[in-house]
Amino acid sequence: MANLRIIYNNVADSATISASTTASGSAANMKNDQKTSAHRSSSTSTVTYTLTWSTAQAINCVALPATNLVDGDLITVKLYETSTTDAAGPIAQLIDQQACAGRVMLLQNGNTTSTSADFGYGGATKTSVWFTQTYQAKALEITLTRSSLVQQIDCARIICGKYWETSRQVTKGIDVGTEDQSEVITTRSGNTYVDKKTISDTLSFNLDYINDVDRKTFLQLLRSWGKNGLIYVCLFPDNTNTEYTQAYSIYGRLQNTSLRYEYLGYYNTSIQLISW
């Protein structure tokens, strides 16, 4: 069973990104961290995003932290050694993976499907693909395919690169929740009014007795990314229940945290994250 995985150096930010079909929003929107600044396909059945680099990038994972994919939709990821995707074929590929199986969408307005306008209110789905080894690639193709729903595909962010996997899995006692910024006002007469605002996911967990190698990587993460940098965290990347994997994944910011020396080169930490 795989342990916790973290993507913090997102090489998609240095890529040139194109999309096979576009109704609104530039493909470059998927390089920024504004959830509502998404790319929307003109096709209601499929879209392919192509990322290219002038120099090879180390890649073993791809994550999409905010899409409007639904149960049954598929994702295909292909890696290429050159920046020309049709030259010699992919050096690695994962075809027709379930993107978010088991994900049930029900928004407050009663809708069971979402668009990018709903991403800040609990309407985003997440998906991730993990390769068993790291490849040096100059091009990456991500194809999203609808299974039965006829709706344009919205995607707000692409994350790819090389993940860090901890030597130990998180300990039991994982907290998943939400942080609702809405304000409820009660008048003198007793009536209540709500100023509806965004809802963010939260995730808290402990890492106990990690080794010295993990200590060095974790401290680098704290110093370099801190609270301002966004990271993608997946607690159960290889779980056969993809809905479970999605529920325990988050693209967000670290809250104040520290690392505690326990004994004989082993360390403990508590990690709290709030989504973008």
| Domain stop point among 162, 183, 203 | 162
Whole-prediction pTM:
0.91
Is 219 found in the same domain as 247?
yes
Q: Is residue 186 packed enough to be buried (19+ CB in 10 Å), middle (13-18) or exposed (0-12)?
A: exposed
Is 193 found in the same domain as 81?
no
Q: Which of 69, 178, 200, 213 is nearest to 129 (CA)?
A: 69
Q: Is residue 153 part of a domain?
A: yes
**Total number of domains constituting the chain:** 2
Q: What is the pLDDT along the chain (276 residues), one digit of tens a residue?
A: 678 999 999 999 999 999 999 999 999 999 999 988 999 999 999 999 999 999 999 999 999 999 999 999 999 999 999 988 776 889 999 999 999 888 777 787 777 788 898 998 888 999 999 999 999 999 999 999 999 889 999 999 999 999 999 988 888 889 999 899 989 999 999 999 999 888 999 999 998 998 999 999 988 888 888 888 999 999 998 877 778 888 899 999 998 778 888 888 899 988 999 998
Is 196 found in the same domain as 151?
no
Q: Is residue 237 part of a domain?
A: yes
Domain boundaries, position 205: 175-275
